[in-house]
Amino acid sequence: MCGIAGSTRTNPELLQAMNAAMAHRGPDAQAIWHENGVGLAHARLAIIDLTPGGAQPMASPCGRWVIAFNGEIYNHHHLRAELEAVGEHFSSTSDTEVLLRLLMRGGKHGLDKLIGMFALALWDRRDQSLLLVRDRLGVKPLVWASLPDGGIAFASEIDTLRRQPGLDLGLDRQALSEYLACLYVPAPRTLHAGIHKLLPGHWLEWKDGAITTGSYWAPAYTGERSISLDEAAEEVLPLLDSAVRLRMVADVEVGCFLSGGIDSSVIAALMSRAAKESGAPPVRSFTMTFDEPAYDERVAARAVAEHVGTIHTELPARPGVTDLLDDMVRAFGEPFGNPTALLIHDLSTSARQHLKVALVGDGGDEVFAGYPRHHGGLLAERYRRLLPGPLRALAGTAAQLIPESTSGRHAWRRAREFLSAGTLPADQMYASWVEYFDPEERRAMLGLDTLPSRPIADLYRQAPSASALDAMQQTDLLSFLPGNLLSYGDAMSMAVALELRHPFLDHRLIDCVGRMAAATRFAGGKKAILKQVARRLLPSHIIDRPKLGFNPPMGVWLKTDLATMVAERLTRARMGELGLDWTAIARLLAEHQGGRRDHSLKVWALLVLEAWERGQKQP
């Protein structure tokens, strides 16, 4: 796990500046490679092969290729054996050398063999060409920009890339609209017009000023296999067990985050089983605790830890975490409106005092259909069939009268959203549930003449299956997962040089589950397959307990820690500098403060946007 950067128009001083900007990602070593204006920079967090043999940028023995790589290749031992069988000889035990040799022999075709998380840059000195690649699910970030002379620059982080002269750092108004919709900027855009995100599962090639891109993998929830729940569990368990074991391979200690929910509990159980079978020391697990009982899961996490046999540590959430707002914005390099990022930063900071690597349960909801909206989408199919359009329209109008809690309880809000979207097409309905500022709000705030597009609806329409559950999960894997969960996981953990690994995002597992029928995936409710797997590892009281979710008490924060910040920063003048209409924002604040609507996340998103814009003015 590291940070990478580079450019076809650079010098050693610029490369050193890029490395300094991302040193938090790789505090163990920083190095550069430079030749004729082309250069690569690498900040190293040593996890596999801690010796100088794993140092980067790494050149091939023949000298033709140079690689800078961020991430881990979990199946590097297997690939090494395959390459040795065809004559390759290795000088280190690093996965970087295996990756380099694989790409030397197979080019982009070698990507199909990889099991891992990665963002890589491969420079071909003979052809004077650059290959950029991002892993299948988008665990590791990679941003790039065209240069005025036709060159290209790239980096793991936006703030690092901004060191490169000649970039178009103007505001992308379409990206701003999409930020307000999703509370993150969906790839391939960033809020800077000239900086782009490489899409998950994609590659980019640059040569002589020409750029070509392509995809080498994408999830495909097509649900064509009708099998029983027991058969599904029989197929999934060994794949998940393999995913966990591969992600435990490291030359440093590996632990896990444990909330007490089913996702992290299954991972902890499989890790403990693997450790016992190999004779390794017990796994270490970590839970964040809260003073607010509605958000605290310490009792459930303790029960899981005791059952599976981890060495468990409770890490109290520190007071005043909202003070990290400006630091959080700098880590992302653009606005990011999910406040859970602050909790991940706090948890990562505390856990990093104990280890370098932690397995996490992110992706379980997307892969196994665990969100309330997945249930809502299936209910909506029946609702549309059973209730005529005029009655649904009447219900939608009446739904606006449904009261709403501002204390974090979402049942009434979900009922209102379900009924309000009853007459919309399926893609618009799902977008209305997932997006935050709706098109009408964005049109008013941005002063647009027409309604802006809905990025989530666009993805939903492109899904390869007409099944509601297939389309919802496919959309989540391409939007909410990489743009939200994985984005804050990487930015906040790497801010303190902690590596997070994600067993549920093993592409072999996703390929398997995606082919299973929706009726199997939702047999009896959310996460049916994962629960069936869990029953072979954990007692029922752990599996069937209600889910809390890892979310901050935003409603409480806005009334306490953040109240002064809202008053000082969300003003007519400051919003005007952002190009936002004050009338629309004042209405939103009045509704929230009057208790008529829970706009907590929207208010937070505006605070984040203001902090980002203010930061752009600072040197």
Binding region for L-glutamine: 95
Among residues 57, 119, 42, the alpha carbon closest in space to that of 490 is found at 119
Q: Are 147 and 9 in contact (CB under 8 A)?
A: yes
CB atoms closer than 10 angstroms to residue 87? 7
Annotated binding site: 95
**Cβ 43 vs Cβ 55: under 8 Å:** no
CB atoms within 10 A of CB 396: 17
d(CA 284, CA 279): 15
Vertex 454: Cα angle to 519 and 609 (nearest 5):
115
Residue 151: CB partners within 8 Å, gap ≥ 6? 7, 8, 9, 206, 209
Cβ atoms of residues 206 and 128 within 8 Å: no
Residue 330 to residue 311: CA distance in whole angstroms: 34
Of the candidates 295, 321, 324, 192, which has an alpha carbon nearest to the alpha carbon of residue 608? 324
First to last CA, the chain: 29
From residue 187, alpha-carbon distances to 70, 344, 471, 593, 612 in Å are: 19, 22, 19, 33, 18
Spatial distance between the Cα atoms of 534 and 528, rounded to a whole number of angstroms: 10
Burial class (CB in 10 A: 0-12, 13-18, 19+), 560: exposed
**All residues at 6 or more sequence positions from 225 whose CB lies less than 8 Å from its CB, including other chains:** 515, 516, 517, 520
Half-sphere exposure of 119 (CA within 13 A, CB side): 25
Choosing from 2, 182, 256, 512, the catalytic residue is 2
CA dist., res. 227 & res. 616, Å (int): 54
Give me the helices (H) in 247-287, please: 262-278
Is 256 catalytic? The answer is no
Place of tokens 């030397």: 104
Catalytic residue list: 2
